[in-house]
Amino acid sequence: MPKSGRNKVSSLQDLADLAGVSRATASRALNDNPIISARTRKKLQALARKHGYSINRQARDFRLRRTSVISVVFMLDVESQQHMSDPFFLDMLGGIADALADHDYDLLLAHAPIANILDVKESRVMRQSDGVIFIGQEQQLEQLNQLAEDGQLMVVWGYPVPDKKYVVVGGDNVGGGYKATKHLLEIGRRKIGFFGATNNPENAARHEGYLKALSEYNVDPDPTLKVDVPFEMLRAREAIIDMLDSQVELDAVVCISDVMALATMSTLQELGLRVPQDISVVGYDDITLAAYSSPQLTTVRQNIRHAGRILVESVLGLINGENVPDTMLSSELIIRNSCGAK
Amino acid sequence: MPKSGRNKVSSLQDLADLAGVSRATASRALNDNPIISARTRKKLQALARKHGYSINRQARDFRLRRTSVISVVFMLDVESQQHMSDPFFLDMLGGIADALADHDYDLLLAHAPIANILDVKESRVMRQSDGVIFIGQEQQLEQLNQLAEDGQLMVVWGYPVPDKKYVVVGGDNVGGGYKATKHLLEIGRRKIGFFGATNNPENAARHEGYLKALSEYNVDPDPTLKVDVPFEMLRAREAIIDMLDSQVELDAVVCISDVMALATMSTLQELGLRVPQDISVVGYDDITLAAYSSPQLTTVRQNIRHAGRILVESVLGLINGENVPDTMLSSELIIRNSCGAK
DNA sequence: GAGATTGTTGCAATCGATTGCATGATTTCA
DNA sequence: TGAAATCATGCAATCGATTGCAACAATCTC
């Protein structure tokens, strides 16, 4: 059996004894402290490898009074108290997890269970981690601000609203809305609707980009073309039908999300309208299904995995006492069939 | 200001000093140890509350030689090395997180980055947690078995394949496939296709349920009605078109997932076929979009949040040295429009 | 060759809790 | 009243690492 005395060396002391040095020397050697002679260092490192020993992080973190843990808090939708399970969150989580692993941090997952985030303040999430990443700020500006003022190291995925007191990483929502709309204008559309609730900062920004593009093309925004479909979308279909019933002209739609866009497309098709021939549709997020719908959905993609990495770099920067700026990640228009060829 | 001397009491010693007792007594009091008089206990607990003190879990876990951490490992698709970002995983994660929180455990998130899970063995995921939950066993039976044999406390979300040596929690895939198919048979369909790759145990089980239902209705399974669309589905559309081109008769389709079902529906509609009038379609998973497609998708729902809870109960049972059986969670057929009324 | 300098390693305190055992106080019982 | 039993609390070791300071050895300088 090639197993050479395993399971024996379980502490620094064991290793030190084995090497005939003190615990202190062993500790320094494994941490590559130059105060220890190169020979001793190599020797101990080799020994550690041979016996499959590695430093007990729990003990180390305890001694060093840190946790090596970053909490990730998923905010709940204020109204529905529901998880905002946009499909892309899992990707973002993946990005975060990878980045944290690279930096030797752990990821503690939680979600704000109550409307009042502050209730989380005294919880493990806050007390037992070196920093917190909030996903989705929604309308909870006040409470997030308060946490930030209490000295919590935190980064929020969302949109930099004016009075925020924390670091924000977010997509270029204005740019995304702008690109989507501009493309529709370029291919000749003029009666462009905007579907989706704009009651949170990110969506409002997308709408702002929409308006910006319209104004560049000297198209007056038509308020009747804006449909404020709520998050749940249960009534997306009705809202769309209502609008079409009211005889407005419409030749394109910018949607707040892919889910909304897919619901829109199927509603339109149901009503006998052709996408994109009669009406162009553009979504937002580039979820997996976007590529498999019929027609395939033109949409705005945010590099969500990369966003996860940036979020991590940001908290870690905070932990290191750096001055961390907000980050805005660019969005990219993915042109597929649902908008019609240029 | 109502803040009465905060930020002072940060260790048991502080609290003990404040109460005029020893550290030991304080510890026992907070842990409701009956050896301490009720009066002293109440007094210390009140004091702790008043000063916002709570036991430092890091120190406690260190002392007690445990981690209070459960790792959750998301398996990667073997071929594509891609995250299996089925939308419902986030829900499951939510369920797991909640259940762990209830039991005062933390959740460490990771994913098996390499084809070889064993490489994770020496990583923090394994060494720094009291147990592991694997999501999605795919074809990695061998390696999972080996981990289990090495004494790793682990529970796997998947399907109980014959030679497994670990605890499995999974949906009733046979039952799900059976219910979906049976319903189609009940409403008179007979040429029922099965769309989706069956190269992993869970999907194979769904197919098994499909066959079972057919046989109950004395319908001979037609192999040409089985389309083995790969996970990525890039070619789902082509595969479907190919099949229809070959002039087979088809009046219904059971799909391996909702994503597949949605792709199928749009392909069929594109070809001028009506769903459900010409062809019924049934999916699996009940993703959010299933309720918003047109027609709304009939699908098999697994209570995925509940599954998360069961997974947690199972690892915790393992940790407590209990004999934990496999669990199979029932599946429910959600009847919507895409299959046609009964 | 003596003193100063530099290089290497060890001693022991420390992080914040838990817990076996000892001790002192109180009650019980004959 | 005195011994035994019971109750309540404290002492001090312990978990596994890190690190300031001291100590000793080796090298250098004049």
- Cβ-Cβ contacts under 8 Å for B259 (sequence gap 6 or more): A288, A289, A292, B86, B233, B285, B287
Who has greater pLDDT, B316 or A95? Answer: B316
pLDDT, tens only, A87-107: 677 778 888 988 998 898 988
Q: Which of B73, B65, B58 is nearest to B152 (CA)?
A: B73
| Bases of strand C lying below 7 A from some protein CB | 7-12, 14-20
Q: HEC profile for B167-231?
A: EEEEECHHHHHHHHHHHHHHCCCCCEEEECCCCCHHHHHHHHHHHHHHHHCCCCCCHHHEECCCC
Mean pLDDT (chain A) is: 86
- CB–CB of B289 and A61 under 8 A? no
What chain A residue is nearest to B110 in terms of C-alpha separation?
A97
| DSSP letters for B74-115 | EPBPTTT--B---THHHHHHHHHHHHHHHTT-EEEEEE--SS
Interface test with B, best of A56, A70, A106 (most B CBs within 10 A): A106
Reported as a pLDDT band with limits 50, 70 and 90, residue A328 is: very high
Reported as a pLDDT band with limits 50, 70 and 90, residue B243 is: confident
Reported as a pLDDT band with limits 50, 70 and 90, residue B281 is: very high
Supply the pLDDT for residue B11.
Answer: 92
Supply the pLDDT for residue B129.
Answer: 87
Given a cut of 50, whether residue A305 has pLDDT beyond it is yes
Given a cut of 80, whether residue A21 has pLDDT beyond it is yes
Given a cut of 50, whether residue B96 has pLDDT beyond it is yes
Vertex A143: Cα angle to A142 and A147 (nearest 5): 120
Q: HEC profile for chain A?
A: CCCCCCCCCCCHHHHHHHHCCCHHHHHHHHCCCCCCCHHHHHHHHHHHHHCCCCCCHHHHHHHHCCCCEEEEEECECCCCCCECCCCHHHHHHHHHHHHHHHCCCEEEEEECCCCCHHHHCCCHHHHCCCEEEEECCCCCHHHHHHHHHCCCCEEEECCCCCCCCCEEEEECHHHHHHHHHHHHHHCCCCCEEEECCCCCHHHHHHHHHHHHHHHHCCCCCCHHHEECCCCCCCCHHHHHHHHHHCCCCCCEEEECCHHHHHHHHHHHHHCCCCCCCCCEEEEECCCHHHHCCCCCCEEEEECHHHHHHHHHHHHHHHHCCCCCCCEEECEEEECCHHHCCC
List CB contacts (< 8 A) between B74 and chain A.
94
Supply the pLDDT for residue B137.
Answer: 63
pLDDT, tens only, A194-217: 998 888 888 999 999 999 999 999
Answer whether A92's CB lies under 8 Å from A156's CB: no
Supply the pLDDT for residue B1.
Answer: 30
Given a cut of 60, whether residue A79 has pLDDT beyond it is no
A50 vs B: CB within 8 A: no
Measured between alpha carbons, how far is residue A4 from residues A15, A18, A312, B105 in Å?
14, 14, 40, 35
Given a cut of 50, whether residue B4 has pLDDT beyond it is no
Query: B-contacting residues of A 102-161, CB under 8 Å?
Result: 106-111, 122, 124, 127-128
Please state the rounded mean pLDDT for residues B52-59. 91
Quote the CA–CA distance of B152 and B191 in Å, as a whole number.
47
Supply the pLDDT for residue A120.
Answer: 66
**pTM: predicted TM-score of the whole model, two decimal places:** 0.84
Strand order of the sheet with strand A298-302?
A: A226-227, A192-195, A252-255, A280-284, A298-302, A331-334
Protein contacts of strand D with Cβ less than 7 Å away: A 10-13, 23-24, 27-28, 30-31, 55-56, 59-60, 62-64; B 16, 20-25, 28, 35-37, 39-40, 62-63, 65
| Bases of strand D lying below 7 A from some protein CB | 7-12, 14-20
Which 8-state DSSP code applies to residue B66? -
Given a cut of 50, whether residue A218 has pLDDT beyond it is yes
Q: Residues A84, A88, A92, A94: is their CA dihedral positive or negative?
A: positive
User: For A124-138, B25-39, B56-70, which range has the lowest pLDDT when averaged over its residues?
Assistant: A124-138
Q: Which of B307, B305, B287 is nearest to B297 (CA)?
A: B287
Who has greater pLDDT, A183 or B340? Answer: A183
pLDDT, tens only, B169-219: 999 999 999 999 999 999 999 999 999 888 888 899 999 999 999 999 999
Supply the pLDDT for residue B333.
Answer: 96
Quote the CA–CA distance of A69 and A130 in Å, as a whole number.
6
Reported as a pLDDT band with limits 50, 70 and 90, residue B294 is: confident
List CB contacts (< 8 A) between A286 and chain B.
none
- Cβ-Cβ contacts under 8 Å for A202 (sequence gap 6 or more): A158, A159, A170, A171, A173
